[in-house]
Chain A
Amino acid sequence: DAKTTQPNSMESNEEEPVHLPCNHSTISGTDYIHWYRQLPSQGPEYVIHGLTSNVNNRMASLAIAEDRKSSTLILHRATLRDAAVYYCILHGGSQGNLIFGKGTKLSVKP
């Protein structure tokens, strides 16, 4: 699985949008871009995934660059509950497992 690069940490104010970037310049044509997050003392939680087109769900939006070498997870209105480590993961292997990097630790200020 190809590598991803994310900032170590980001800060946001409550109720403001948050844009979490991810670079994946070595992405292959069959890799899906997945985002998971891990709240303190909990297991990782699926957020969103996409292949080429932008995706929206009730939790977030995923904006994928046209060349697919980068993507951005968008939280439209950050809440205190969104404080977590966010992992951007390229997933396309036949073995199914996710390869986690260090992720971005998001802090949300009231």
Chain B
Amino acid sequence: DTAVSQTPKYLVTQMGNDKSIKCEQNLGHDTMYWYKQDSKKFLKIMFSYNNKELIINETVPNRFSPKSPDKAHLNLHINSLELGDSAVYFCASSQDLGRGRETQYFGPGTRLLVL
């Protein structure tokens, strides 16, 4: 059983479209994250949720909206896609916020290409 799963794995779309990426974890964790890895391979946090409550919202355009329907799911909706949104998006989860002790489990990534 995959611990953290994301769908779709690949997403190719046109500029201006709206798309969603889904993430599910079956680990019973309270905290979930979205990270973005750009073409230079830098991994940066976008959002984190703890018990369905938004904890971190980094300087991400408001075209990106996370939604957590329950603790096991954290979806990412992107409006009006732009070329610069092309990247790999990783979902992750941890038991809780942990103050440094917690291990994070990452999904396989969603490769988004905006044409």
Q: Residues on A close to B: CB < 8 A?
A: 30-32, 34, 36, 41-46, 49, 85, 91-100, 102
B43 close to A100 (CB less than 8 A): yes
Min CB distance B26 to A, Å, is 16
Residues in A with CB closer than 8 Å to B56 are 95-97
Query: In the complex, are the beta carbons of A32 and B109 less than 8 A apart?
Result: no
* Complex A-B: 24 CB contacts under 8 Å: A30-B99, A32-B100, A32-B101, A34-B103, A42-B108, A42-B109, A43-B90, A43-B107, A44-B90, A45-B106, A49-B101, A49-B103, A91-B100, A93-B99, A93-B100, A95-B55, A95-B56, A96-B50, A96-B55, A97-B45, A97-B48, A97-B56, A98-B43, A100-B43
Residues of A within 8 A of B4 (CB): 43
Q: Please state if A96 and B48 are interface contacts (CB–CB under 8 Å).
A: yes
Question: Is A96 touching B97 in the complex (CB atoms < 8 A)?
Answer: yes
Q: Please state if A102 and B31 are interface contacts (CB–CB under 8 Å).
A: no
Closest partner residue, chain A, to B6 (CB atom): A43
In the complex, what distance in Å separates the CA atom of A67 from the CA atom of B90? 34
Chain B residues with Cβ below 8 Å from A45 are: 106
For residue B94, CB closer than 8 A to chain A, the reply is yes
Task: Name, among A85, A96, A100, the residue most crowded by chain B CB atoms within 10 Å (CB to CB).
Answer: A96
Complex interface residues of chain B between 18 and 47 (CB less than 8 A to chain A) = 31, 33, 41-45
B79 at the interface (CB under 8 A from A): no
Which 9 pairs show the lowest CB-CB distances between chains A and B?
A: A43-B106, A92-B100, A32-B100, A96-B97, A100-B43, A97-B45, A91-B100, A46-B103, A44-B106
Output the nearest chain B residue to A31 by Cβ-Cβ distance: B100
In angstroms, Cα B107 to Cα A41, docked, is 11
